Structures are given as structure tokens and as C-alpha cells.
Chains A and B, each alone.
Chain A
Amino acid sequence: MNEMTITNAQYNQLDGNNISIQAAIDGVQMSVPLCEGNRHYDEIMRQVEAGTLTIQEAE
């Protein structure tokens, strides 16, 4: 089961490098670090691997 409802996931960039992910998690806008062990990041990547979530590239 999905631990969180995640929508509108998009990378944040600085100087052309992805530095974090912006997403609405359970209805709350969050900035999520690219850090294994962070529960939000782990769940985002789990849902990406499961094919149920796509992270948009930074604009």
C-alpha cells in the first residue's frame, strides 16, 4: 500500500543540478531532500519504481 498520497512531484534545480523535490504529500506542499533514509524521499522513489509516480524535470 502507498504510505503517502504524492502528487505534482518536480525536481528543484540549482546551477543545472537537481537538489531536491517539490511535491504535494498528503495534500501538504513539501520540499524533499534527495536523501535515502528520509521517509518522504524513500516513498517517492518507491512509487517511482512501482510506476505509479513520475517526477517532472525542473522548469
Chain B
Amino acid sequence: MSTLKVNTIQDTTGNDALTIDSSGNVTASQGFVPSTQLSHRNLIINGAMQVAQRGTSFNSTSGFLYTADRWRRYFQSSTGAFSTSVDSDAPAGFEKSLKLTVTTTQSTLTASEQYWVSQAVEAQNMSQLNMGTSDAVTSTLSFWVKSSVAGDYAVMFGSSGSTRQYVSMYTINSANTWEYKTITIAGETTGTWATGTSIGMNVRFSVGVGTDFHTTSEDTWLTSYKLSTNAQTNLMATSGATFQITGVQLEVGSVATPFEHRSYGEELARCQRYYQKPINNQEFQAVASRAGTGWVFFQVPTAVPMRTEPSLTLSGTVDITSEGNIGTFGTVINWGFNDVGCLLIGTGATISIASAYNGTVYCQNTVNLSFDAEL
């Protein structure tokens, strides 16, 4: 270890390049070219769990379920179950965390069981990792974690189709204490990695893993679906046990930089590429652009262009007015989409609709319409 005490560093021609004031503040007098990005570093969306368009409390029914935006949990067990919530308990600098709470215990897991929470990174958003090529680069995951059960836990990084998997273990040292963890992942030079709008990589935090998904090869790329080593703690063995994460960041390089905080509006817009609620118990009306017997076209605008044509879920009754008459639709279905919205068809109208119709589709504040284009 040695120390260099200077207040100015110059280039070879005598021009000041860096100056350091008495408080240690550094000013670059000329260009500053970092080897990694200064902004937009985080490949994870909603890493601070700010956005929860689907709600903040989720059931403990087995299967896949999207919870906080972009975060999906899974378990398919014989007995064990956990609920998921967006919680206000978070480390300094954060307001929210994603929390798993064991609602039904399972002290011994069967071989094929797995309990986890995961985010899928869209392939075209991780092209800078150069996965599957000789230019593949190291990346680093950092996150805050807290659990009522201390011990070893796993994170898995996996390509779409589970052809390439990387398992890394970390230790929660103290129960019920927020701890900051970093994991460095070697770039993978082989394998087939998706491009475009499909899943590029899953980042998966496990809380219980059966032996089918154990590996003895940690921190190396594997060619079969594995989630952890046999050191993985079984959170499911403890009634009411909790596991929380927030501040999740995946970035290029071998060093974890401070979490890249984004405004709520920016994070929401990123999430809306995958899921949005254009009508959310608010009044809404649209012009009907074309009509036939008992049906009309109308367009619902989207906040941002979506990843792909979304599925539609509707609750509540959509009204239709035609030539002074007011009725309702039996069903609303999707017909097409573009970068500014989804073209829907209301069918089974309870009133007669003129064929050359230009009228109004109306939703009272009891209608909820969501578009889902998640990975």
C-alpha cells in the first residue's frame, strides 16, 4: 500500500487533467471516459420494488405468479406454500422490498420441488453482455437481503430454455438483518442465447430447492437446469419464516456500483412495456371507429409501446351508446395493437348499433382493464 498526495494531475503536455480540492473532490478538466456505463447500468427493472401495478399482496396458491412488477414467484410443492407482498420494510435508501412469508411449512422437500422469486431480463436489453460469444463479459449482481432464517442461499442465472445455468451461493449471516450482497458472474462464451424480445436471462433467488436441482459445481456455467448446491437453506421448514430482497442490480463489470436509483415515473414506464392497466377503476371513453351487428372497434391507448401484443383482462361492464340508446357489451376481446394502443372489439351489444356508426364506448369507474406482455 502506498499513498500519492497531489492536488493536480496533468497530461504530458502540461494541461490539468484532474484536480483535487482540500475536501477530496475530484474535477476532471478534460474528457472523462469510464470503462463502464455511468447511467442505465442496471439490467434489472424495478429492482427497488417501487412499482406494484398488480397490487401489494399476493396469494399462496402454487404455480407461477407475477407479483411486484417484473418479479415472478414460483412453487409447485406437495405441501409447502408462501405468500408474497410488497413491504415497507427496507434498508436505508430504499422504501420497499419484496417479501416472501411461509404460510405452510414443508420440513423436507421432495426432489423435484423448487421455491423461488425471479426476474427475466429481455434479451435485447442484455446484448452488452455478449453471452455465447468470445466477447462475453463479466457481470455483477448486487442486492439487499433479509431473512428470519440465516444460512446459505442461492442465486441462479440462466438462459432461456435452461441450456446454460450459473449457480452462486451467498450467506445470510444474521437473522432479521438487512445485508448487502454482491455476486460476480463470469461471461459465458458458449451456448445459444436468445436475442430480440424474448427472455435473455433469468435471475432467480431460491428459498427452497429439491435435490433434482442441486449441483456440486458452483460459480461455473452448467448445461442443465440447476438452482443451488445442497447447502441451500430450506426456508419452507420454518412456519412464518420470511425472505426479503430489494436494491437488486445486475450490471456489466466485476465491481458492484451503488444502486442506480430511478424516479418512480421512469421505473413505471419501464414496467409498462411488460404490463399496464390503461383503465384502472377510472372513467374512460373512446370513439368507436367501425361497427357491425352487435359489435364495434375502439382503441385503448397504451402508456408506452409494449414488448409484444398483450393479453387482455377485463373486469366490470363496458357501456356503449348508439343513436341515443345506451347498452352494454357482452364481451371485449383484442383484435390488434400498435405502438400507441390496442384495438379492441366490444361484442354482444345489448342495443342495436348502426353499421356506419361513430359513437362512444364508455367505462364507468368500476372497470379494470389490464394488458399483459410479460416474459
Are A and B co-members of a single complex? yes
Interface residues of B in 332-372 (CB under 8 A from A): 332-337, 345, 347, 372
A50 within 8 A of B: no
Chain A residue nearest in CB terms to B76: A1
Q: Mark A25-41, 1 if CB is under 8 A from B, else 0.
A: 11011111101011111
Any chain B CB within 8 A of the CB of A49?
A: no
Contact status B345-A14, CB under 8 Å:
yes
Contacts of B37 in A (CB 8 A): none
Interface residues on A, range: 20 to 34
A5 within 8 A of B: yes
The residue of chain B having its C-beta at the shortest distance from the C-beta of A33 within the complex is: B309
Instruction: Please determine whether A26 and B63 come into contact, CB atoms closer than 8 angstroms.
Output: yes
In the complex, which of the residues A14, A32, A39 has the most CB atoms of chain B within 10 Å of its own CB atom? A39
Report the nearest B residue to A3, measured CB to CB: B64
- With a CB–CB cut-off of 8 A, which chain B residues contact A3? 64
Cβ–Cβ < 8 Å partners of A26 in chain B: 63-65
- Establish whether residues B63 and A35, one from each chain, have CB atoms under 8 Å apart when the complex forms: no
B308 CB contacts on chain A under 8 angstroms: 35, 37-38
Complex CA–CA separation, A31 to B76 (angstroms): 26
CB contacts (< 8 Å) of A14 on chain B: these are 295, 335, 345
Collect the chain A residues with CB atoms within 8 Å of residue B337's CB. 33
Interface on A for B, CB 8 Å cutoff?
1, 3-5, 12, 14, 19-20, 22, 25-26, 28-33, 35, 37-41
A-B contact pairs, 10 of them (CB 8 A): A4-B63, A4-B64, A19-B345, A20-B333, A22-B333, A30-B311, A30-B313, A31-B314, A33-B334, A33-B336
Knowing that A14-B345, A28-B313 are A-B contacts, what are 19 other residue pairs whose CB atoms are under 8 Å apart, sorted by A's residue number? A4-B64, A12-B345, A12-B347, A19-B333, A20-B335, A29-B314, A30-B372, A31-B313, A31-B334, A32-B311, A32-B312, A33-B311, A35-B308, A37-B308, A38-B310, A38-B373, A39-B372, A39-B374, A39-B375
